[in-house]
Structure 1
């Protein structure tokens, strides 16, 4: 590492893998017993940072955008799940070293490994967020009370809402159309006999004339007028959902039962 990393500076820093993926934020810092230098960090992952995964600081460096480690996101996601309770057993340490392909350090005569002390910086006097040893951290955790609350996780799912069918059927309706028609009529045309024309003999005669008339003729034919088909389209609107969630509150009372503070 280019410079000595201070545990108090690492807490809550962003953790970035070699590909630039942000893995989460630093939760705890673990120091090596032999050098008292940061050797492991826990990264808060999962929804709301509820999970912590151990990540080695071997080859890591800090930058303005966080801590750049030498292991990728998949390796961190698949890391063994070990409780970040301020103490690593030799078996847990060996399991982590082997997972990341790192050489396992030799144990001291008392069986301790170099990464079992959690985040204590001599300059901090054993205090601070990253400055508790395993015993102090264990006692603090034992005396602490965790407040939890429920949160709404809202998403969407696709459900079937119904069926739509397109069907054609036949209806009969009455139509009236006005059509102009022609017919023939008879009229007598008279013209006078001019002088000098020979007269006809008197007698009976007749003339037959055929009359014609037009009449409406109705016929039907089927012609296409339009085409129709069903097509689905997706529209987006907004719906408001609500739900009741529970959360815990802290309340401090004295021996007389007086409430001093709620949060």
Structure 2
């Protein structure tokens, strides 16, 4: 028995088997008289959900996509046909448990199983009042009241992180020409002529050939290369928040009330 589940949680929820197959939607919730906890649900299957089959809640748990039960979809389709008339006898409950190969829970000898909210305290030996959509809630006296629940879809928008691209850092070598102006020095010969006025002879002034050699010097540019770090590149990520508008279609139910006595039709 799923003691943590409430009828309000279960009603109209999707029913999923252990393989992830969707069986149908919950139509009615049946409570055990002894514990007033949900023990059975009926699942609307077939074309337009006109067929109802009983499914046990032993080991069931509620997930985001619906209530997950411990029986297969095929077992539900082949379950014994029992009228969902608001109560299950002990024999009917035992027959269903045998079909699903599950042990029958211990209950009081005179206890039965009825459908309805816990704590209603009505319904006789079988106990319980109906808590299903679109059916009358019977009391001990008077005419049953008509009840219908309207549902609608809502957008549930969240976010997920996806990869949008890559940024790669790479360095490569290019060759370019550079022109640098550098000052250089060189030696040149300057000739000076000085007249001798005294007419006196000096050693080495004899008439004849003579030769002297003067070395000239000059600077020339010398290019040497050296590698030096000049710039550092760092890449990091930062999170930027922006608003995006999400559009989606949702469906909702509307009530259509047709009153034959006044020949009026109202929509709401």
Q: What is the TM-score with the length of structure 1 in the denominator?
A: 0.49
Structure holding more helix per residue: 1
Output the TM-score relative to the length of structure 2.
0.48
